[in-house]
Amino acid sequence: MNTIKAKKVKTINWTATLRLMPISSVLQCTIEEKDTLAPIATKLKFSEGKEYSFMKDSSTKTYNITRVK
């Protein structure tokens, strides 16, 4: 499983970032970034059949977005 911190992503195109994530990879992000990414993930689910899981990591106060399909 690959984990990438959102702040290290050198792009502002979150749609491309989520679209190109391999299955089982994890994007670690802040709550503000999660609020931006959630609607994009929903759009990709309905348009391309890609699914993502959002889980809060209380130890680091971040969210982990995992591509599951």
Q: What is the pairing mode between strands 26-29 and 3-5?
A: parallel
Q: What is the pLDDT of residues 10-55, one digit of tens each?
A: 666 899 999 999 999 999 999 999 999 999 999 999 999 999 999 9
- Number of structural domains (the chain) is 1
Q: Across the strands, what pairs with 56?
A: 63
Q: Which of these, 54, 65, 56, lies nearest to 6 by C-alpha position?
A: 65
DSSP letters, 7-60, are GG---S-HHHHHHHPPTT-EEEE-HHHHHHHHHHHHHHHHHH---EEEEEETTT
Cα–Cα distance, 63 to 46 (Å, whole number)? 22
User: What pLDDT score does 3 carry?
Assistant: 73
Residues spanned by the domain of 22: 3-67
